[in-house]
Amino acid sequence: MFTACGFLLLCLATLVGFMVGKKSSAASAFPNQSVSLEVVQPTSASEALLDEAFRELRDGHPKKALLAFEKIQETQPSLNGIDYLIGHAAQSSGESSIAEEAFQRSLTTNEMAEEARLALALNHLFQSATGASQGSQLSDPLTDAEGAFRRFSALHPMDSNVYLQWAEVLRSRGSYRSAAETLHKGVLRSDLSSSQSLISAKEALTRLQNNPSKKVPSLSGITSMSGELALASALESLQMKQQSEALLFLERAREFYTPIVFAELMKDNAFDPYRTDSKMRSVFSKDWLDQSSGIR
């Protein structure tokens, strides 16, 4: 009886150990599974204001963008990252004190904290360069900024924009060789999908997929066409089975894009129905793309 009880206890201990070990392995496989992050989604009103603000930033009106971001903070103060966005717009507007306060709030709430830390370092560097800094500096603002750049790039290895900012600081100090090397790092780490010209062109192609053209675009204005308009005209021509015109529009479009971006645009699925067309097959070939990009 004692032997049987001992054996039963041994089996029970083995089973418990197995279950604990299995649970531990699952926990180690997903170490952050228990960490919850409350994400506040923008309301429809905030979404519209965000679009307006980013449009103003893109068009070079940071003060108008600042007003839009501040409206969002008034109506939806819990929206993630709103303090950083206010700081960014304020910094672009030359409102250093507003930017400083907003970035400090972003650090306090730990929302976009690394971005805010870098922005604060750059704000202090700008203030010291213009003589607008108040009080005595406990450390060199340039050293602080370079430290912030290194920290941010280490934490965000695929963010190419930080290298652009870093290089501009180096250029302002006359360190052109270091700036060029820094920009090269940015080129290597750049994400093609972040290109505004790529995204905008894809938007135009997608709109034509949703609403195909019902007329052939005119070649008369091709010399004054932008790259995006020429690309869209090429797709319109293909939709109307005008392959010769499509080729001319594509020749025009590739003048406006870098070889990598243009090659990516030619892979767009809007062109998929025309890749096997005998008159267009060569246009979508690697040889034509290499020729268009100057690759030999």
Q: What is the pLDDT along the chain (296 residues), one digit of tens a residue?
A: 555 555 445 555 555 455 545 444 434 443 444 445 688 899 999 999 999 999 999 889 999 999 999 999 999 999 999 999 999 999 999 999 999 999 999 999 999 999 999 999 999 998 887 776 655 566 789 999 999 999 999 999 999 889 989 999 999 888 899 999 999 998 888 887 777 888 899 999 999 999 998 888 999 999 999 999 999 999 999 999 999 999 999 999 999 998 888 988 998 999 999 988 888 888 887 666 666 544 43
pLDDT recorded at residue 251: 93
At position 235, the amino acid (one-letter code) is L
pLDDT recorded at residue 80: 94
Query: Of 223, 243, 228, which Cα lies nearest the Cα of 283?
Result: 243
pLDDT recorded at residue 44: 95
Q: What is the DSSP letter of 244?
A: H
pLDDT recorded at residue 86: 97
How many residues are listed for the chain in this entry? Answer: 296
Report CA dihedral (223, 226, 232, 238) to the nearest 10 degrees. Answer: 20
Q: How far apart are CA 279 and CA 268, in angstroms?
A: 18
pLDDT recorded at residue 136: 53
Q: Which residue in this structure is represented by tokens 């180096």?
A: 170
pLDDT recorded at residue 294: 45
pLDDT recorded at residue 38: 80
pLDDT recorded at residue 27: 40
Q: How far apart are CA 146 and CA 121, in angstroms?
A: 9
pLDDT recorded at residue 89: 97
CB neighbour burial string for 42-58, b if at least 16 within 10 angstroms, e if fewer:
eeeebeebbebbeebbe
CB neighbour burial string for 279-290, b if at least 16 within 10 angstroms, e if fewer:
ebeebbeeebbe
pLDDT recorded at residue 6: 53
pLDDT recorded at residue 155: 95
pLDDT recorded at residue 253: 95
